[in-house]
C-alpha cells in the first residue's frame, strides 16, 4: 500500500511538472478559450432555453389532458348529490378527466413554433458571433505576448553588446586612451538598457496574464506560450478588393446572420400579434364520476315491500353508476379588449422596423471594419517595410560609429546616440511586424480564413 502511494505521488508530480512546462500555441489558446469562456457557457444556456421554447411550441399544438380528484367530508346540513335529499353528514368523492384541443387560434400556435425554430437559430448565430470575437481577442493578446517577448530578447542582446563595449572602454580608460567621461556615458547607456529589460519583463508578464485571463486560467506563473519566432506569414489577401472581401463576408459572417434572423423573428412576432384579431375555436371532452357514502341500496324489505335496511353502494360500483361524459366546442370571438391587440400589432411593427435598421447598421459596420482592415493591412505592410529599411540603415550607421569609437574618433555621447537610434529602429521593426500580422489576420478572418500563424 505504501509502495502504491509512492508511485501515485511520483506520477502526480510528473503530471504537474509536465503541466507547468506546457507551452501554448495560438491554435491551442483559441480552442481552449472557446471551450472554457464563461460568457460562451452562458450563451450556450440561452441556446438550450431556446430549444426548450421550441419544445413548448410543439406541445401547444397537442391536446391537453388533465385529471383531478377531490375527497370531502361535509358536517352540517348538505344535500346528497344523487338523491338531492338533505343530510347532516356525508363523505363525497369526485373525479374528472378533461382533454382540450385548440383547433384554431389565428394560426398563432403554428407561428409560435416557427418563431421558436427561428429563435434557436438566432441564438446559435449569437453564440458563434461571440466565439468569433473571442478568437480575434485571443489572437491579438497572443501576438502581444510574442511581440513583448521578441522585444525583450532584443533588449537583452543589446545589453550584452553594451557590456562588451563597457569592458573595452574600461580598458581604454585605464590605459589613458579615452577620457573617463566616455566610460560614464557607456555606463549610463547600460543602466538605461537594464531598465528597458526590467520594463520588458514586466510587459511580458502583463501580456501573459491578459492572455491567461481570456482563457480563464488563473495559474499565471506557470502559463506561457510557445517560444517561437514568427515571421510575416504568406498571404494573397490583398489580391482581393475590399468589395470582394465584403461580399464574401456577407455570406457567412455570424453577426450578419444574427441580424437577418432577428428580422425574421420580428416578422414572425408581427404575424403572431395579428393572429389575436381572429376568433379561437377549441374542442373539449370531459369524463366525470362521483361517490357518496349517502348513496344507499336496500338490503331488507318489510312484508309490504318497504325497505327496512340499507347498505352503502360499493365505491367501485358508484364510480361506474354515476359516471358521465361531456363534450363540445368553445368559440371565443374578440370584439373589444381595450386596444390591446391593436397596440400589440403596432409594437410588433415598430420592432420589425428596428430590426431592419439594425440589420442595415450591422452591414455598414461590417463594411466599415473591412475597409479599415484593408487599409490597415496596406498601411502596416508599408510601415513594416519602412521600419526594416530604417533598421538596416541604423545598423550600418551604428557599425560605422562603433568603428570610429573603437579608434577614438568618436566620443561616447555620439556613440550612445547611435546605439539608441539602433535600439529604437529594432523596436519599431518588432512593433510594426506584429501590428501587420494582426491586421493581416483580421482581414483574412473577414474573408473566412481561420486564424493561424502558419
Q: Flag whether 49 is in a domain.
A: yes
Q: Please spell the DSSP secondary structure of 350-386, one letter per residue.
A: HHHHHHHHHHHHHHHHHHHHHHHHHHHHHHHHHHHHH
Q: How confident is the model at residue 417 (pLDDT cuts 50, 70, 90)?
A: confident
Helix and strand numbers, DSSP H then E, in the chain:
10, 6
Q: How confident is the model at residue 405 (pLDDT cuts 50, 70, 90)?
A: confident
Task: Please report the pLDDT score of residue 454 as a whole number.
Answer: 61
pTM for the model stands at 0.76
Q: How confident is the model at residue 7 (pLDDT cuts 50, 70, 90)?
A: very low
Distance CA 176, CA 182 (A): 11
Q: How many domains does the chain have?
A: 1
Q: Flag whether 70 is in a domain.
A: no
pLDDT at 149 over 60: yes
Q: Flag whether 246 is in a domain.
A: yes
The pLDDT of 379-407, averaged and rounded, is 90
Mean model confidence pLDDT for the chain: 85
Q: Flag whether 216 is in a domain.
A: yes
pLDDT at 10 over 70: no
- CATH at 253: 1.20.1600.10
For residue 373, count CB atoms less than 10 angstroms from its CB and return exposed for 0-12, middle for 13-18, buried for 19 or more. buried
Distance CA 395, CA 385 (A): 15
User: Which tens digits make up the pLDDT trace of 30-73?
Assistant: 999 998 888 888 888 998 998 898 888 888 888 989 999 888 77
Residue 224 is given by DSSP the state -
353-357, Cβ contacts within 8 angstroms, sequence gap of 24 or more = 354/266, 355/259, 355/262, 355/263, 355/265, 355/266, 356/263, 356/266
For residue 75, count CB atoms less than 10 angstroms from its CB and return exposed for 0-12, middle for 13-18, buried for 19 or more. exposed
Q: Lowest mean pLDDT of 79-83, 175-179, 412-416, name the range.
A: 79-83
Distance CA 56, CA 243 (A): 43
Q: How confident is the model at residue 274 (pLDDT cuts 50, 70, 90)?
A: very high
Q: How confident is the model at residue 350 (pLDDT cuts 50, 70, 90)?
A: very high
Q: How confident is the model at residue 82 (pLDDT cuts 50, 70, 90)?
A: low
Distance CA 233, CA 16 (A): 34
Q: Flag whether 292 is in a domain.
A: no
Distance CA 107, CA 91 (A): 46
Residue 111 is given by DSSP the state H
Q: Flag whether 367 is in a domain.
A: yes
pLDDT at 8 over 60: no
Query: Among residues 374, 118, 367, which one has the least CA distance to residue 257?
Result: 118
Q: Which residues are paired to 281 by β-bridges?
A: 104, 331
Q: Flag whether 304 is in a domain.
A: no
User: Which tens digits make up the pLDDT trace of 28-39?
Assistant: 999 999 988 888
User: Which tens digits make up the pLDDT trace of 284-318?
Assistant: 999 998 887 777 777 777 877 777 777 888 888 88
Q: Flag whether 315 is in a domain.
A: no
- Domain with 430 in it: 18-62+105-278+334-446
Q: CA 147: distance to chain centroid? A: 27
Amino acid at each position: 500500500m505504501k509502495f502504491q502511494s509512492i508511485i501515485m505521488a511520483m506520477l502526480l508530480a510528473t503530471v504537474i511538472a509536465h503541466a507547468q512546462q506546457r507551452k501554448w500555441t495560438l491554435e491551442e489558446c483559441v480552442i481552449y478559450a472557446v471551450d472554457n469562456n464563461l460568457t460562451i457557457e452562458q450563451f450556450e444556456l440561452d441556446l438550450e432555453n431556446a430549444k426548450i421554447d421550441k419544445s413548448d411550441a410543439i406541445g401547444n399544438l397537442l391536446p391537453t389532458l388533465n385529471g383531478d380528484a377531490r375527497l370531502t367530508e361535509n358536517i352540517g346540513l348538505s344535500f346528497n348529490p344523487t338523491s338531492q335529499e338533505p343530510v347532516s353528514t356525508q363523505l363525497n368523492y369526485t373525479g374528472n378527466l378533461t382533454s382540450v384541443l385548440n383547433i384554431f387560434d389565428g394560426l398563432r400556435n403554428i407561428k409560435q413554433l416557427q418563431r421558436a425554430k427561428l429563435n434557436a437559430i438566432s441564438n446559435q448565430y449569437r453564440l458563434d458571433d461571440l466565439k468569433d470575437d473571442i478568437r480575434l481577442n485571443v489572437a491579438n493578446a497572443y501576438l502581444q505576448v510574442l511581440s513583448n517577448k521578441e522585444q525583450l530578447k532584443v533588449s537583452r542582446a543589446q545589453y550584452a553588446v553594451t557590456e562588451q563595449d563597457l569592458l573595452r572602454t574600461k580598458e581604454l580608460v585605464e590605459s589613458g586612451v579615452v577620457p573617463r567621461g566616455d566610460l560614464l556615458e557607456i555606463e549610463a547607456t547600460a543602466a538605461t538598457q537594464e531598465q528597458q529589460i526590467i520594463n520588458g519583463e514586466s510587459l511580458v508578464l502583463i501580456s501573459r496574464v491578459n492572455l491567461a485571463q481570456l482563457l480563464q486560467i488563473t495559474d499565471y506563473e506557470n502559463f506561457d506560450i510557445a517560444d517561437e519566432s514568427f515571421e510575416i506569414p504568406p498571404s494573397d489577401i490583398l489580391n482581393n478588393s475590399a468589395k470582394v472581401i465584403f461580399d464574401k463576408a456577407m455570406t457567412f459572417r455570424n453577426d450578419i446572420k444574427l441580424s437577418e434572423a432577428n428580422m425574421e423573428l420580428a416578422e414572425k412576432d408581427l404575424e403572431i400579434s395579428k393572429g389575436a384579431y381572429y376568433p379561437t375555436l377549441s374542442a373539449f371532452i370531459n369524463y366525470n364520476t362521483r361517490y357518496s357514502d349517502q348513496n344507499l341500496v336496500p338490503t331488507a324489505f318489510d312484508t309490504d315491500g318497504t325497505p327496512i335496511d340499507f347498505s352503502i353502494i360499493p365505491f367501485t360500483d358508484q364510480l361506474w353508476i354515476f359516471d358521465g361524459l361531456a363534450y363540445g366546442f368553445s368559440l371565443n370571438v374578440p370584439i373589444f379588449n381595450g386596444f390591446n391587440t391593436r397596440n400589440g400589432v403596432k409594437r410588433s411593427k415598430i420592432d420589425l422596423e428596428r430590426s431592419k435598421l439594425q440589420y442595415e447598421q450591422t452591414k455598414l459596420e461590417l463594411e466599415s471594419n473591412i475597409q479599415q482592415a484593408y487599409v490597415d493591412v496596406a498601411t502596416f505592410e508599408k510601415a513594416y517595410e519602412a521600419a526594416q529599411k530604417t533598421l538596416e540603415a541604423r545598423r550600418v550607421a551604428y557599425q560605422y560609429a562603433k568603428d570610429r569609437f573603437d579608434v577614438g574618433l568618436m566620443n561616447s555621447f555620439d556613440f550612445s546616440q547611435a546605439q539608441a537610434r539602433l535600439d529604437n529602429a529594432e523596436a519599431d521593426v518588432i512593433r510594426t511586424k506584429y501590428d501587420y500580422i494582426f491586421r493581416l489576420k483580421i482581414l483574412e478572418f473577414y474573408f473566412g480564413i481561420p486564424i493561424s500563424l502558419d
